[in-house]
Structure 1
Amino acid sequence: MTGHRRGRGGAPPTLYTHRPDRAAVVRVSNDRRRIVERAAPVDRSATLPEYYQEDVNTNSALDSADFTYDMGDDSLVPEEEGPETDGISVRVRAKRYTNSDLPFQTWVGLRDEYLDEMLRLEGRGDAEIYAACASCGEADPRYRCENQTCYGPGMFCKSCVVEQHQVLPTHWIQVRCDYYWADGCFERVSLGELGLVVQLGHLPGSMCGAMRRGKYKFTVIDVTGIHKVAVQFCECDSRIKPRQQLMRVCWWPATALDPSTCATFNVIRLFQNLNCLGKVSSFHFLRSLELLTNADGLNPLPNRRRAFIHIVRQHRMMEMMKRAGRGHSASGVGGTAQGELALTCRACPQHGKNLPEGWNNINWAEMPEDLRYKYFTFLAEDANFRLINRNVSTEERDPVVDDGLGYFVNRRLYKEYLRNHVDEEEISTCSGFQAMFLADAKRGKGLRTTGVGGVTCARHNMWRPNGIGDLQRGERYCNMDFIFFAAILNTVMLYIILSYDIACQFSKKFWTRMTGLPEAMHINRQTTSIWFKVPNFHILGHKWPCHSPYSFHWMWGAGMSNGEDVEQNWEFTNGAAGSTKMMGPGGRHAFLEGLFAFHNWMRTVSYRKVLSQRLARALKEAPRHKEAFDAFTAVVEGERPELVAKWRGWVKEWESEQHTEGDSSPFELTKPVKSLKDIRLQLSRAELTRTGEGLEVRRQHTSSTLIAFGLDIENTQQYGAKDNVLIYRRILTIDVKATKDPTTTQEIDFVTRRTALLKRVNRFRNMQRVYMPELVRFLTNSQREIYEDRTRAAESIKLFMPSELAADVRDKAGETGLAKIEEEMREAELSDSLEELRGELRIRSGTNQFRHRNVTGQRGLTRGQGVLRQVEVRIHKAKLRYRYARNALLRLRGHGPWERVFRALAEEDVRGINERARTEEEKAEQERLRALGQIVEGGVGAAGIVVAGEGSHTMSWIWYKTQIGDGDEEIIDALRVEWCKAFARTRRWHEEIVLIDEEMRRTVQYGVWMEEEWERRAGARSRCSSELAEGLRAYAEEHIRRERRTRQRLTKEWSVLRSKATAYLAGSREMGESVVVDVDDVDGDDEEGDVPGEEQVEGNERDDEEDEADADDV
């Protein structure tokens, strides 16, 4: 048998083949229908070794002469050159045109034309335009509107242009600077300079007999710039104040008394959208308006930043009041209840709004499982130390007006409670958490708040009413307790699932701490149960005893909840940290209230797509996991049927209760796995016994020492003379082959390492002559040539362990039992190498997660790539070690049941516990990356949450054992863990379908309730003017129509998916008509990502204009 892989040829092994390097940029086409890839050659100054391999053929024992350190290592086998391409690859689904595929390239050839048209606009245009006034026909007009969007590109006389802009006073006018155009140009003037006076309180164009002029420098801020406008107030009716007259033309006054500055509603809405989405500050926004007004800086403008901030703050507050229906209530603003201004989650259970009548009076003991967990309320709590606030201004100068009416807790009650916990200190007993360790160490000098704590619904990313509170000194229990109980105040909840990254500590003495809160905030423990869980990613930082009790994966009714939603919400708010840091208490409070409201509205708008995506994914994953689990169960039941019933009951019993310890968890091993050290200790004790019986007295070393030393030479770490260089035998092989043209320094390093390795090999040979005295006599001719060759490099010398000899000569070449000793050590080595491989894969997952979340910029990414390369090298070593050990054990033991436990290690098996296997498309991309000399991983990690894969993939076999041996408790224990996990995953996906279907029903039902609520509000306020009554009715009708339209749209779009869910839950294999799901990046939840293989939802092509119209309400 040859040592070369089939189809590779017989070329000598090299680390990599030098080939032209190409880099590619992949993007989605503008019509979002195709993938466009553009590749180009790149210069690579230094080539690094590639550490990627395919599986060695370990299912057949290789001859010892062919079993080399090159086996199983594709990086040591040259790859053939592929054909060169033109560098551009486009996959087209339908016939397209250049203009749609490459619009910029089409435009490049028209640059002169575009430039000419821009310059043409600097003149008057066609003669027919400037020959006469477009309104009255007067000859030789000199004026035109700079916008040229109100009345087209026409030219006007002075009187006409002023008359045309009676209702557009914030447009700029261009006037011809010379009477004759020969050497003239246009200059900008304001309508005020042309004599336009805005008369308030009357129809446009009419004058008031009892008018009062406004201030000389009356300023109006609009999207077109900052304008000085001449205004006249009407005093015909003294009851209508100037501020009201301004509001009635959509100008918001900066002050309530004698205003001199105002902003149009349009500019306020524009700023709020830019402020919330782009985190554009008021300073930069006003600066941009100043540049639109006075780009050259020759005409200084008045500073209106403070006035604009006041306007925006007032508008934000009133918009929240308006959306909450406070204008429709007779009690008005003063009757607003705590948390009433907050937008609530439509998909979460809300008593009286989206739950069946009498749901809270159901006999829970008799209710089926699928009905009970539908009423779970999932919440997540966390603290954010980015949103700090410096100790600037005071509450007297900058007060909080809407205290406790929206998302923040009531400040007065909050401060009173915290006064009793000034010196409170908590220290976590669970490792890895700075949240509690730094509770008292957080920087606080000069800060009013060191951050904020918040509560969201854990499945839909919606901030809870009264669910935000400032932190004064880190993340203390007293703060987080108050915020949590305030967030659930006055709500009916039977089961609360609280996700918190320190839930294991937060849950201790939880009910005792509740007694220290105001009595009105207490909850009834007889009717409300709280389960504490740790988010999926954060649980990795906990000690092992916390994993099973606090994991969402092992909780009945959790579905595919992951608890990380609150972390994703902070990402949206953190962009505003720089602005809020220097705000006063009132301004910061109002700004964050608006930001949280904007976030909640955008999440509400996204429900249509998000819930569709999640249900589609659940319907795709649930049958796959159930099928895999049923097949797994059938195998186990075929051998040990009594185990399945025991395990099934164990899982259900565990999941149905809240645990604080993992001692009785069915998801954790109870039998420790023997390591190589354990086996060596066992053999040493056996040899000690033999020596005590007089069987071994003459030798300094034992036979197990020989085998152990041989394994050490192959695998054990040694330190060289320089920089603690690792001396692995096979690593030295790789390093030598990786260096094509070594420098003098590299040569010295190789010689030093070879010398140290050769000394160890010589020591092994001396020991081998004692325990294997007849070795040379029983070697084959080819083996003897290798054995006697003194010119071979140290890393290429064969040790000729018993596994490298033919089976019929092993006992003849040395002492009886040597092969048995190596067999036991090789089996232990397999366990050790698998454990090493698993450990490195966990490191890789964590490193990837850190890079995705924290590393930006070329410098950081380059350094991160270096770290990943080091991790990949270690994964590579562990992978090779396992393959060599398995090949040796196969030669010693032959085929048998042990191969079901220690399988052949394929490349797709080398993936983290959170990584899934690659698809065929991803494998093709993997090959492309290999050609570029990049690091290639064996699996695809789940971005965002490391352990998310626990519920969305079938695990690689390296993470468990699969053989049931007679009386082998260790294997049964490992098999039990994997079966229980598979059972839990199957249950979670089933629950996810139930939960999402219920969330869809609740969302639609909430719309019905909102429609009825606005019907009630429309006529709730009777004592008001007819004009106000008409506005109240119109606004209510707008919401009624929106709710009705949304409800009808959701019912229609979700009907097919919900029918599929109903069919699946009923056990039907017929899933009804086909449906395609539109996958957009709107979820923000890493656990529920794109659904592979499903691209578009039929009927979900909602116009962008409609989405934007919905968002305009914020």
Structure 2
Amino acid sequence: MPATIFTERSSFLDEMIRLEGRGDEIPRGTCSCKGEEPLLYRCKDCFGVEMVCRACILQRHVHNPLHRVELLGLRIQLGHNPGETCYNPEPAAGDDFVVIDVHGIHEIGLDFCGCETAQIHYKQLIRARWFPATTLNPQTAATFALMEFFHLLTFESKVSAYEFYHSIARRTDNTGTTPIRDRYSAFMRMVRQWRHLKMLKRAGRGHDPSGVDATSAGECAVLCPACPHPGKNLPEGWEDASHDIRWKYALFLAIDANFRLKRKLVSSDNVDPSLNAGSCYFVEENAYKQYLSERGCEPQEKSSCVSHNAVNMADTKSSRGLAATGVGTVDCARHDMKLPNGVGDLQKGERYLNMDYLVFSVMVGFAVVVFNLSYDIACQWHKKLWPRMASMPPRLHLTDRDNKTIRFFVPKFHLNAHVQSCQTAFSFNFGKNVGRTDGEAPERGWANINRVASSTKEMGPGTCRDTLDDHFSDWNWKKVTMLGQRMLRKVKEASRRAKLHREELSELQRSIPASSLSVWKLEIEAWEEDSTQPNPFESRVIPMTQAAVRRQLAEKEAVDLQAGVDVSLHADISPSLLIASGIDLQDQQRRLAADISALGQHATDIQKTKIFNQSNALQRRLDMWAQIQVLYMPAVAPIRAMEDACRSEGTAALKPESFQLRLPSQLAPHLPCNQQLRECEWELRYAQAHDALNDVRQHIRLFTHLNTFRTANVRGQRASTRARTALNLAEQKKRASKAKYDAARDALTALAPLLGKFGWTDIMRPLGWTDMRPMGDFIQGQSEGTRDIPWIWKTPGVLQDNDEGLQDCLRIEWCKARAQEARWSEELLLLLEEMQRVLMFLTWQGTWWSGLASARHQERLADSEGSRAYANRQSALREAMAEKFRQRWAIVPAVVAAELDDDGTLDIADTDSTMLTIEGPPPLAVED
């Protein structure tokens, strides 16, 4: 990289901005055709910048609709418009100037203007919209159209300069018969300079009177409009807001490292320095390396959580043949954008030494008072952060730290890799005032930037950093342009989810005594204010052992067996006892059917004998019960007689497990039946459904405890087999309880219209397999923040059995449900606040660009016109974006209002009422 680019870049930048105006065409009042039409047109793809009238521009492009111009064999005259004569031409040395454009690599004859008013050669090239490869006797140039095309192509396809250049060369000649001069090195130099100059131009550095050399750290980065920027998009007096409001002005930072973006040990900073020099996303290299060299020998602390490789292996990561093992970054956690001075090379893994420097380089640039930091090793990294800050350069110290609120979180996807205590203490799901932030913003950015890793790892240090800076800027800009649709989609989702989880929490609370709720609420509020208080999301009950679960299963079997044996029928049976006995017999039928189904094809004689005995005993009970049933339900007699007649005619003998009891719920509605019997069955079935549902809950908990115990403690084939047997038994019990509940509910469904029963279906709902899961579990497609609570845990009376384990589970589930509702409500308020900030930022930025239009005094009219044209275009662009967003978000108040509870649980008044109604100019038709 020639040293002259540092001294001449201001001149290059001025010339590029000059092209935004008419340049040397200002004095010329008439077109070369001598017509009277004004000079309003010029072609960006034609050679030169000549202004022509409408008739001429149409005529010149009749045969060039796609504008494919062959330059070979032409002699180009710079410094004058086509057709004008230069009286002192200066031919390029060798008469073989090389021009690279989108159609090929061309060798042309080129004359520089040598008149008294002629500009230096590289300026003549730039004014013709050709970018020179050097400032000293240039022999190669690339058209602006080519540079712009490659610039966008490399963003979208991540094509390398090598691949692009050789594609252009093959387009010039794809046969190898025509020699083509190799200008790849020159093209690489032009690409790098083009990126740097475009960055300065878009940052307004060409309009600043202090000049390019006065560019400050991070000034050229594309800022996130939705993040809080004091003086730009925050209301007056925001710093004095109360604590219950201040959280909306927090900055969310996401910290991560990427080891795909490594760089080989080639070149050096002396040979290949960065042109950006800390003015964009990478920190300034000299100060960064000096800090690392002074403290590089400090050992890395070991992790006391799980074995985080990022912590424990930081000092041992292989760096052989590498100048950088990767990069560390600090992103905007809510909007996925890279932050100014938040990127730096890693020399030996993800050391605290590197990451601390990057984090504080970002934080000192934001004068906010609330920071929420997300890092996959935050549980360890934050422990000695402030002592480490004290040993950093003074410019990186946070001032007035006592008045700042700084909280630490672990990204949601990474959280499950931590120990249980970290999963609650550092969770975005349970932390207050963070909305639905997930902390995984860097991961989404890596998917985009990793595709350039194969190119950047071969680059020198300065070229690599400048290239990544350029890609990060494009990533940020695309995020800015998509804020309108992304934030509208998020508001719609947050409004819907906030309402859904409010209803979910309200439904759960109806099943919990008010006294328990008041105690739990005090506990969780105390923990939210002071994390040293007992964590309400952690269990306080000693988990069951495998032996205890087996004992409970055995006791349950004994109770069931006793209930089945104690069925006694006699002639004096009462109506209620008749129905109760029938329901018990139905249970025994299901049990027998299940035993037969589990018998298998190779059952032993003992197993078969046991089944036969059960079947015979059940048949005797059924016969006795059927005789009594006819006394109370005469309508059953003809049905039984018909069934007996069918069997006597050769039909297979009726098996006891298939015997139709013909209880009142099983009779057709038109058949006569005593209403008292129906009432008796209703009451018994309703109680049976409650009992069965309670059994389902108990068996779910037992199965969960067994499975947890097996995963954590059981090793070896024998122990695993015994544990699997116990799990299978618990699963069978759960399925049997479900079948019992389904039968009871079917009976209730049949009896309800006959007895005029209503409202019971709100409590006794259909029981699906997805409902039979623990309270803290969720099905596929759900996450901690979107999952629902199975309805079986929200029915009235769940806590009436005084089960300590169940109460503890329900308390934790209530805390989680409360957190879910709070996070979605916070997310909605944060989004509304961020929308307001986006509009304010774009309005401020438009005004800022308008001020730059005349900020720098230009001696020549062409220069000042170009400067004004570009600044005004950028200002109009921001105004148009703000208006477009404002129009897109006009439906937001109606969307939010539609999801509010009648009692106004979520008060939209907490957000600035002027949101989405900022006064501004009408939308302008401008080109981005």
* TM superposition score normalised by structure 2: 0.71
Find out whether 1:1005 has 2:846 as its counterpart. Answer: no
SS at match of 1:344: coil
With over 3 angstroms needed to count, the CA separation of the structure-2 counterparts of 1:171 and 1:632, relative to structure 1, is closer
Match of 1:971 in 2: 806
Query: What's the secondary structure of 1:951's corresponding residue?
Result: coil
Corresponding residue of 2:786: 952
Inter-CA distance 900–827: structure 2 relative to 1 (3 Å threshold): farther
Offset, 1:674: 2.8
Q: Is the 8 A contact 1:827 1:889 kept in 2?
A: no
Query: SS at the partner of 1:227?
Result: strand
* Preserved CA contact (<8 Å) 2:775 2:810: no
How big is the shift at 1:206?
A: 1.4
Q: Following the alignment from structure 1 to structure 2, what is the Cα–Cα distance between the partners of residues 217 and 840?
A: 80
Deviation at 1:446, TM superposition (A): 0.2
Which structure's residues are more often helix, by fraction? Answer: 2
> Does 2:380 align with 1:505?
yes
Residue 415 (structure 1) aligned with residue 294 (structure 2)? no
Q: Distance in 1 between matches of 2:887 and 2:504?
A: 33
Please give the alpha-carbon distance, in whole angstroms, between the structure 2 residues aligned to 1:272 and 1:837. 56
In structure 1, the gaps of 5 or more residues are 1-135, 137-146, 152-159, 174-189, 687-701, 708-729, 737-753, 784-799, 801-822, 843-873, 917-938, 943-948, 1073-1102
| Post-superposition offset of 1:956 | 3.6
Give the direction of change, closer, same or farther, for the CA distance of 1:164–1:1012 in structure 2 (3 Å limit).
Answer: closer
Q: Which residue of 2 aligns with 1:306?
A: 185
Kindly state the Cα deviation for residue 331 of structure 1 after the two structures are TM-superposed.
1.3
Aligned partner of residue 575 in structure 1, secondary structure: helix
Q: Which aligned pairs between 1:299-448 and structure 2 lie closer than 5 A?
A: 299-362=178-241, 364-365=242-243, 369=244, 371-419=245-293, 420-431=295-306, 433-448=308-323
Deviation at 1:595, TM superposition (A): 0.5
Structure 1's 841 and 561: CA in aligned 2 closer, same or farther, altered over 3 A? farther
Alpha-carbon distance between aligned partners in 2 of 1:607 and 1:594, rounded to the nearest angstrom: 20
Select 1:222's aligned residue among 86, 92, 101. Answer: 101
**How far has the Cα of 1:547 moved from its partner?**
1.1
* Paired residues of 1:611 and 1:1000 also in contact (CA < 8 A): yes
TM-score by length of 1: 0.59
* Aligned counterpart in structure 2 of residue 670 of structure 1, from 540, 559, 566: 540
Structure 2 match to 1:644: 517
Letter in 2 for 1:376: A
Matched residues, percent identical?
A: 34
Matches within 5 A, 1:935-1084: 939-941=779-781, 949-956=783-790, 963-1061=798-896
Corresponding residue SS for 2:511:
helix
SS at match of 1:443: coil
Shift of 1:777: 7.8
* 1:656 shift after superposition: 3.3
Distance in 2 between residues matched to 1:957 and 1:467, nearest whole Å: 46
Distance 1:1010 1:683, change over 3 A: closer
Q: Quick one: which of 91, 96, 102 aligns to 1:213? A: 91
Task: Give, in whole Å, the separation in 1 of the partners of 2:537 and 2:367.
Answer: 33
Structure 1 residue 229 displacement after superposition? 1.9
Q: Distance in 2 between matches of 1:300 and 1:914?
A: 71
Aligned pairs (5 A) from 1:427-576: 427-431=302-306, 433-523=308-398, 524-576=400-452
Deviation at residue 1064 of structure 1 after TM alignment:
6.0
Q: Deviations over 1:667-713 (max 9, x none)?
A: 232123435422446899x9xxxxxxxxxxxxxxx999x99xxxxxx
Compute the RMSD of aligned alpha carbons: 4.6
- C-alpha change, 1:447 and 1:150, in structure 2 (3 Å) is closer
Residue 585, structure 1, aligned to residue 475, structure 2: no
Give distance in 1, aligned partners of 2:451 and 2:374. 24
Residue type of the alignment partner of 2:183: R
Q: Does structure 1 conserve the Cα–Cα contact (< 8 Å) formed by 2:261 and 2:457?
A: yes
* Contact 2:207/2:855, CA 8 A, preserved across alignment: yes
Q: CA deviation at 1:361?
A: 2.9
* Maintained 8 Å contact 2:550/2:726: no
Verify the 8 A CA contact 2:200 2:220 in the aligned structure 1: yes
Tell me, in whole angstroms, the C-alpha distance in 2 between the residues paired with 1:1071 and 1:545.
31
Tell me which amino acid in the other structure corresponds to 1:954.
D
2 CA distance for matches of 1:1071 and 1:658?
26
| Contact 2:98/2:107 (<8 A) preserved | yes
Written as runs of structure 1 = structure 2, the 5 A alignment for 1:709-788 is: 778=617, 780=619
Q: Which moved more, 1:993-1002 or 1:1060-1069?
A: 1060-1069
Residue type at the aligned position of 1:328: H
Structure number with higher relative contact order (C-alpha < 8 Å, ≥ 6 residues apart): 2
Contact kept in structure 2, 1:390 and 1:449, CA below 8 Å: yes
- Measured in 2, the distance between the counterparts of 1:255 and 1:971 equals 77
Q: Which moved more, 1:445-454 or 1:1050-1059?
A: 1050-1059
Change (3 A) 1:1056 1:213: same
Amino acid at match of 1:208: C
Report the Cα offset of residue 201 of structure 1.
0.9
Separation in structure 2 between the aligned mates of residue 734 and residue 941 of structure 1, nearest angstrom:
34
Where structure 2 has 5 or more consecutive residues not aligned to the other structure, the ranges are 1-32, 34-42, 48-55, 563-593, 623-656, 658-692, 713-722, 746-760, 908-922
TM-superposed deviation, 1:234: 1.1
Name the SS for the 1:338 alignment partner: coil
Deviations 1:378-402 (A, max 9, x none): 1100011100001012222211222
Q: Please, which moves more after superposition, 229-238 or 380-389? A: 229-238
> How far 1:735 moved relative to its partner?
15
Question: Structure 1 residues 440, 534: closer, same or farther in 2, change over 3 A?
Answer: same
1:211 maps to a residue whose letter is P
- Taking the aligned partners of 1:1036 and 1:1064, their CA distance within structure 2 comes to 43
Contact 1:1063–1:1071 (Cα < 8 Å) also in 2: no
Matched to 1:831, the amino acid is R
How far off its partner does 1:536 sit? 0.8
CA distance in 2, matches of 1:266, 1:1035: 18
Task: Give the aligned partner of residue 249 of structure 1.
Answer: 128
Deviations along 1:439-459, one digit per CA (max 9) or x if unpaired, are 123221100000001011110
Q: Which has the larger radius of gyration?
A: 2
CA distance in 2: counterparts of 1:341 and 1:552, whole angstroms? 32
Bigger CA drift: 373-382 or 950-959?
Answer: 950-959
Letter of the structure 2 residue corresponding to residue 478 of structure 1: L
Equivalent pair of 2:507/2:794 in contact (CA under 8 Å): no
AA paired with 1:941? G
Kindly tell me: are residues 528 and 397 of structure 1, through their superposed partners in 2, closer, same or farther at Cα, counting changes over 3 Å?
same
What is the aligned partner in structure 1 of residue 509 from structure 2? 633
1:1011 and 1:876 map into 2 onto residues whose CA distance is 71
Contact 2:79 2:118 in 1 (8 A): no
> One-letter code of the match for 1:320?
M
Confirm or deny that 1:609 pairs with 2:444.
no
CA–CA distance in 1 between the matches of 2:849 and 2:205? 11
How far 1:438 moved relative to its partner?
A: 2.7
Q: Is the 8 A contact 2:96 2:110 kept in 1?
A: no
Q: Distance in 2 between matches of 1:883 and 1:961?
A: 23
Distance, in Å, in 1 between the alignment partners of 2:546 and 2:370 is: 48
Residue 908 of structure 1 is matched in structure 2 by 770
Structure 1 counterpart of 2:529 = 656
CA distance in 1 between partners of 2:695 and 2:819 (Å): 35
Mapped to 1, the partners of 2:187 and 2:179 lie a distance apart of: 18
With over 3 angstroms needed to count, the CA separation of the structure-2 counterparts of 1:298 and 1:617, relative to structure 1, is same
**Is structure 2 residue 75 aligned with structure 1 residue 197?**
yes
Q: CA deviation at 1:1060?
A: 4.2
- Alpha-carbon distance change, 1062 to 414 in structure 1, aligned in 2, over 3 angstroms: farther
Aligned residue identity for 1:569:
G
The answer as to whether partners of 1:426 and 1:476 remain within 8 angstroms in 2 is: no
